[in-house]
Amino acid sequence: MMKKVLVTGATGFLGKYVVEELVEHGYQVRAFGRNSKVGRSLENTSVSFFQGDLTNADDVTEACKEMDLVVHAGALSTVWGPWEDFYQANVLGTKYVLEACRQVGMQRLVYVSSPSIYAAPKDQLAIKESDAPEVNNLNNYIRSKLASERLFKDYPDVPSIILRPRGLFGIGDTSILPRVINLSQKIGIPLIGDGRQLMDMTCVENVALAIRLALEVPEAKGEVYNITNGEPKAFRDLLEESLTGLGYPIKYRKIPASLLAGIASSLEFLYKSLNLKGEPPLTRYTYYLLRYSQTLDISKAERELGYRPKISISEGIEQYVQDYRKH
């Protein structure tokens, strides 16, 4: 029997890759999302589109009917915005998914959370899943991800797995590389010290693979897994490899850490107190990314899920560059 999987956030960057990975491995997919144009483009003999909104409990309940498995990848994932927006989309949305899974007796739910919850003003190497803090109020996105993870302990009857994939990039990426290109051209990339801070990235195809493994491996039930490419690199090396390939000159701005920290805090304060639209050009979260090393330990996923990245970071960058040149 072909297993039927509901994929939320199917019209987003990661979602499209998840749908593809599952179809390649013989699943019937119901793609859930708001964007009907993208949704319809995903449809084929193995994929049907369900237009719905995660903040609408009825949509979620309806979408879960007749499904065996759920991949919950839909979320509001920007670094800035009012708590209410994040609460609706990420906390309530996840609660509705858990409720619906309970109602239909779902065989398994894989939830895509975020390692941004580990963010802190210090170097952190080989972070384990158990190192997650109880509270982290650095931004509302992080708060909402922690709150949504906490919901799972109220649903012990729903067999669930939580994944925390770090720094997704690939063709179709709308956040990481486009932002970097923009920044480099406008004002230059802020460089703190020598730019040797270590960071992890993950090719989006590898995240889709990890999600499928989490659906399939019996022992994974109830566990949490960090997911990366397993090849931490210096911030500067990642930048140079990407931008050189794309044919952009790199402009750096050497900025003292304390100045950058001050700017980030001031901007956040201004945006909050004046209720400004959009996001600050620099946030404390981005400052932490630039300032401190942060790498994740993925040995648990390797050991228990049998996770092995299928594309290296260099291959991922190369693919992105090839695609970018076409356009």
Query: Is residue 190 situated within a structural domain?
Result: no
Residue 179 is predicted with a pLDDT of 75
SS3 state of residue 144: helix
Query: Is residue 192 situated within a structural domain?
Result: no
Please tell me the distance from the alpha carbon of residue 247 to that of residue 290, in angstroms, as a whole number.
23
**Strands 47-51 and 108-112, how do they pair?**
unpaired
Q: Which two tokens stand for residue 237?
A: 């090396």
Residue with tokens 């300032």: 291
| C-beta of residue 160 within 8 angstroms of C-beta of residue 152 | yes
Q: Which residues contact 84 (CB under 8 A, 6 or more apart)?
A: none
Residue 79 is predicted with a pLDDT of 84
Catalytic residue among 96, 141, 225, 292: 141
Query: Is residue 56 situated within a structural domain?
Result: yes
Smallest CA-to-CA distance from 52 within 65, 210, 306, 149 is with: 65
* Residue 39: count of CB within 10 angstroms of its CB: 21
Structurally, the chain folds into a number of domains equal to: 1
The type of residue at 258 is S
The type of residue at 24 is E
Query: Is residue 11 situated within a structural domain?
Result: yes
CATH number at residue 38: 3.40.50.720
Query: Is residue 193 situated within a structural domain?
Result: no
Query: Is residue 68 situated within a structural domain?
Result: yes
Query: Is residue 35 situated within a structural domain?
Result: yes
Give the pTM.
0.95
Residue 233 is predicted with a pLDDT of 97
Helix (H) or strand (E) holding 263: helix 257-273
pLDDT tens, per residue, the chain with 327 residues: 799 999 999 999 999 999 999 999 999 999 999 999 999 999 999 999 999 999 999 999 999 999 999 999 999 998 899 999 999 999 999 999 999 999 999 999 999 999 999 999 999 999 999 999 999 999 999 999 999 999 999 999 999 999 999 999 999 987 777 778 877 888 788 899 999 999 999 999 999 999 999 999 999 999 999 999 999 999 999 999 988 988 888 889 999 999 999 999 999 999 999 999 988 988 999 899 889 999 999 999 999 999 999 999 999 999 999 998 888
Which range of residues forms the domain containing residue 140? 4-173+202-230+294-310
Residue 56 is predicted with a pLDDT of 97
Query: Is residue 63 situated within a structural domain?
Result: yes
Tell me whether residue 87 is one of the annotated catalytic residues. Answer: no
